[in-house]
Each structure stands twice: as structure tokens, then as C-alpha cells.
Amino acid sequence: MLTLQDITVRLGGNVILDRASAALPSRSRVGLVGRNGAGKSTLLKVMTGQIESDGGTFKVPNNTRIGYLAQDAPGGSATPIETVLAADQERLALLKEADTAEDPHRIADIHDRLTLIDAHGAPARAARILAGLGFDEETQNQAMDSFSGGWRMRVALGALLFSEPDLLLLDEPSNHLDLEAELWLESFLKTYPAMLVVVSHERDLLNTVVDHILHVQSGRATLYPGNYDAFERQRRERQAQVEAMRVKQDSKRKELQAYVDRWRYKAHTAKQAQSRMKALARMEPIAAAAEDPSLSFDFPSPGELRPPLISLEDAEVGYVADTPVLSQLNLRIDPDDRIAFVGRNGNGKTTLARLLAGHLKPFHGEVGVSTKLRVGYFAQHQIEDLVTDQTAIQHMARVMPDAKPGAVRSQLGRFGFSGDMANRAVGGLSGGERARLALALITRDAPHILLLDEPTNHLDVDAREALVQALNAYSGAVIIVSHDRHLLELTADRLVYVADGTAKEFPGTLDDYQDLVMGRGPAIAKSSDSVVSDNRAGKSSNKKEQRRAAAQQREQNKSLRQAVTKAEAEMSKLSDQRSAIDQALFKPTEASGPFKDKPTSDLMKIRADVDRDLVGAEARWLKASEALEQAGSP
């Protein structure tokens, strides 16, 4: 049992944790969740002793080995395999002692212990861990200094997993991983033999690996049984209960206040009024759930362009002349496309995204771009390029020089930057807030394509869910590079596999791709390229027919979408009319507009006509919506 009792932490004069308490069951797998800045990482550092709490206690069983991923990436001339093996200090010490020990009994004890901890199988186990994290045999034996910081952090993670501590503490372990390495990590953690506490915003990992959720909010910690989906259900139920209690309390408060206001100055009821005044003073107010501006994503929808928006024909691209990163690129982007780029980090996903965004020119081949095409390209460097001493409104005004102040504020408001938030310096914004500002900046001109390269890196689980909803409401094309499977599953319907110096359509679903990566299912018997080639071979002969059919389907869908939009507008207009009529009927003093001062009989007749028209509009909307759903969105 791991016990947190009244943990209080103050940093920079702010209370981060306020008497946070929880009892975590032995050998449990706990997902530590909460909004950005809630104190999750602080709580982990209290557990490791890196931060001393201002109050409270943290208790673990004696002799518990705690493992925590340090933020400093390892370096030097040691290789990844040597670095990982060095993490098992007992094994290293025993092997060193075995070379010098002379006492036969001690030598026997050493070899017994080496056998017990499977010391001779350690190199193979370390190699498997590194392979899962993306290191092949060659790179496992290169010097650490030859790798980037992200790859060195993978080695640090591998070393921690190899050491198998009794309590494994992980803070955003997938930050430096691609989808393939994240899938391996998830599989590894599912069978981890000891206790685990992980801070993560990856919904799939939290659903698959953990059996408890520790939710940190307003400085307190609440433990929920089950995975993340179970936690969400329980949290919604609790919020509904709290809201019902708040409404009930507000009603009671008004009732008490009304009694006090009426009878406090009457001699025969003064005592009763005083008693109710004390009850009012003792009544602890229940706060309503506040709207969170960090969950605001609203992408402006563009006007329509004829397909294709972008087409690549035998294109070749890279950074150094005559040294292409990707070649033989044949790809078509249409207005309704929802595409995810998949493949290992370093295979060229970002390079392909930059080519489509127009930031790179092809060495060879053709790149066709629709006239008037606007592309909104999001990349991590854009967050880093924000000017820390300038406000959100200054950034937006700079990229919208001809826009009126109202239009500038309106675009910021779509992403939660309203009021004082718009005037806050970027240096005072969280990583998630900076990401939202960058998204607001790249979508200022309603782009026809949203091209998002790892858009969720700074977003917590709730903000990622809001991003999913916003992308699904957006009417343009979407191309995503991400290791967040939940995001990909809910937003992408096409996969493009980037590997071996090119990019090709992947014929299956994201589940099929996961099976391919993890070595499950019959598809793994072939290379991924041959799977794609075999699948496409039968289609090449009728490619023109397919495109013609797709174009006809898009045209049909266009008329259906227009019918849906027209019906929605009509329903909105009629609903507003009905509300105005109801106000004139039941609150005539507050009425305004054309229905004010009309006789009740006339209002009732007009309302009946509006109701009839509204029923007709709803029927047309339902018919068009069902037809659009059945037709699909090619």
C-alpha cells in the first residue's frame, strides 16, 4: 500500500497541492490525470523525494526501490545497450565481484544470485527493450552522443524499464515516442510485474494499462477504480450530483433569504429570522462547474474548391540537393479527406507535411495545387517561435494587419482567448495555451486544409477531446501526424504509410496497422510495402473510373450538405421566431420586435404556423442528414 496523507506543496507563493490524500493499493497500476498545471508532476516529485512537501506524509513499504525517469538525457561515448545494461547496478556489481572473488563460498553465492536474476539473459532483454523503442541492432551500438535529445530520452526510458523498480513512476513517457514505440510501451506496461504510477494524456494508454485513476484537481486528489473511460463516467455522475446539490442549495438559500427579508424586523419573528440568518452564514456555497476556456477550439470553415486540392506525381523531396528523403510520391488530397501519416519517427512524415504545406519544393516530379488554396500548417516550432513578451492579441493583429479589431478578437475568441486572456503575455501562458494560440494563428484565413504535425503534445486529455470534436466539425480537409491513437481513430479515415524513402496508401484501418506493427495477424507475413502493393495492384486498372465515381459522389453529397445547411438555417430562424412569440405571449413587458403589442389571438395563430413550418424543416433536415450519412463522404 502506498499512502499519500495531506500532502501540501507551495511553489512560488502558490499552493499547488492542498492536503492531497490517497491510498493506492499494492501492485496497482495508477493513471495520474488532471488539467495542465494541476500538480501531477509535482506529486510524482514528492514521491521520489525531489520535492519536500510543506505538509503531510508519503509512506511506502520499507526497501521499496523507486524508479523515476530523469529529465536529463544521458550522453557520452557509451552505447544505448551499455547504458541500459548499466541500469541494473546489482548485476554489474556481482559481475565485477565475480572477477575478483577468491572465497569459493562467496563465488558460489554470486553465481547463484546471477542465475536468480537472469544476469546472462540480460543483454538479450535489454536489446528487446531498445528494439521496441525504435533502436535496431546497428543503432544500439552507436555512441549516445550521436543521437538527438529525443532518442537519448528513449534510452533513459529503456534503462528505467530494464531496471524493474518496485514502484515505477513515469511522467509523460510517450512524449518522445512515435506511434510504433508507444504501442510497444503500452504492451510492455500491461505486463509490468510491479506497481506503476503514470502521468499521461494518452487516452488509449490510460484505458489499456491502468486499473485506477488518481485525479488531481484544485490541489486535491481523488482515487477512482477502473480505467480512464470508467473514471469519466464516474466523474460525470459525480458532477451531476454536485450540480443537483447546488441547485437545491440555491433554492434553499433563496427561501431562507426571503424569510429573513420579510420577518427580521418583526418582534414576534425576530428570533426565527435570526436563526435563519445563522443558517445562511453556515451554508458553504457549492460552486457551479466553471466553463474552461482551454477547451475552446473552433476552426473556421473554408469555402469550397474543386478537387483535387493537391496532387503529387512521382515527386521527390528532401533538404540537400540530390539526397532525397522521399521519392516516387503519388498522392491526391481532396476537400473531404481525413488522412493520418503513420510510420516511425525519422522516416519522413514531417518532410512530407512540409512539402504539402509548400515549405519545401520538390527536386523532381509534379506538385499540382488548386488555385486559391489556403493551408493551415501547425508544427511544434511555431509554439517555440511565439514572442514571450507579446500578448495573444498582438500576435493575431500582426498576422491580420488589415482586419478590424473586432475580427481579430473574434478569431482569438474561437480558441478561448477572450477578455483578459487575450491581453496576457505569451510568457505567462501554459504549453497548452500556446498551442491553442498557434492554432488560432494558422487558421485566421479559414484554410482549406489543416495540416497538423503532433498537435496534442501540449494538450491534456480534456483538451484533446475538444480538439477531436472541433476537427470533426471542420468542413475542410485534415492531415494529421500524431502518436495519439484516440485522435487518429476519431478523425482519420485514410492512412498514408511513410517508410523506406516513400509514402503509400495503407489499405487497412488503424487497428490493422497496429497489428502490423505488433506482429499480429496474417498481414505481418508480408512486408508493409508488399501489402500495399498487392492491395493497389488490382485497383490500378480502374483508377480513372474510381475517381469519376468519387467525383459524382462528392457532387451528390454537396447537394445533400446544402440541403442540410438550408434546413438547419430554417430551423434556427423558426426557433428564434417561436421564442420571440412566446416572450410576447408570456412576458409582454419584455417583448420587442414585430410581435410586440400584437393581440394574443394573432400571436397564437402565428405560433401555430411557425410550429407547422418547423416540423416541415425538421423533416427535411432529417431526410437529408440520413441520405448524407448513407452516402458517406468520398
Cell of 603: 400571436
360 and 489 fall within a common domain: yes
> Considering 146, 164, 182, which residue would you say is the last residue of a domain?
164
Instruction: Reduce the DSSP state of residue 200 to 3 states and report it.
Output: coil
Distances (CA, A) of 252 to 243, 259, 277: 14, 11, 12
**CB neighbours of 566 closer than 8 A, spacing ≥ 6?**
none
Q: Annotate 600-632 with three-state secondary structure.
A: HHHHHHHHHHHHHHHHHHHHHHHHHHHHHHHHC
282 and 300 fall within a common domain: no
444 and 377 fall within a common domain: yes
Domain with residue 438: its CATH number is: 3.40.50.300
In the numeric block, the cell 514505440 is attached to 181
Sign for the CA dihedral angle at 608, 614, 617, 622 comes to negative
84 and 111 fall within a common domain: yes
For residue 375, being part of any structural domain is answered with yes
Calpha distance 63→169 (Å, rounded) = 16
For residue 320, being part of any structural domain is answered with yes
Per-residue pLDDT at 521: 57
Q: Is the peptide bond before 507 cis (omega within 30 degrees of 0)?
A: no
Contact indicator for 355, 367 with CB cutoff of 8 Å:
yes
> Considering 506, 539, 574, which residue would you say is the last residue of a domain?
506
Distances (CA, A) of 72 to 144, 150, 157, 175: 13, 11, 11, 14
Calpha distance 386→440 (Å, rounded) = 12
Total number of domains in the chain: 4
Cell of 323: 539526397
Residue 171: φ, ψ to 5°:
-110, 105
Contact indicator for 345, 175 with CB cutoff of 8 Å:
no
- pLDDT, averaged per 10 consecutive residues of the chain (634 residues), comes to 91 89 92 89 91 92 87 82 91 88 89 88 93 92 90 92 93 88 92 93 93 93 93 84 77 76 65 64 54 75 91 94 92 92 92 95 94 93 91 95 92 90 90 92 95 91 88 91 91 92 92 85 44 40 49 63 77 81 78 79 83 83 75 51
| Residues in a beta bridge with 497 | 342, 504
485 and 572 fall within a common domain: no
Q: Distance from first CA to last CA of the chain, Å, rounded?
A: 54
Name the residue among 469, 510, 516 with its Cα closest to residue 489: 510
Calpha distance 218→237 (Å, rounded) = 19
271 and 325 fall within a common domain: no
251 and 156 fall within a common domain: no
In the numeric block, the cell 410586440 is attached to 596
Q: Annotate 346-364 with three-state secondary structure.
A: CCCHHHHHHHHCCCCCCCE
User: 244: buried, middle or exposed (CB in 10 Å: 19+, 13-18, 0-12)?
Assistant: exposed
> Considering 267, 290, 313, which residue would you say is the last residue of a domain?
290
How does DSSP classify residue 267? Answer: G
Per-residue pLDDT at 532: 40
346 and 472 fall within a common domain: yes
Cell of 529: 510495402
255 and 147 fall within a common domain: no
Question: What length does the chain have?
Answer: 634
Domain of residue 128 covers 73-164
Per-residue pLDDT at 285: 59
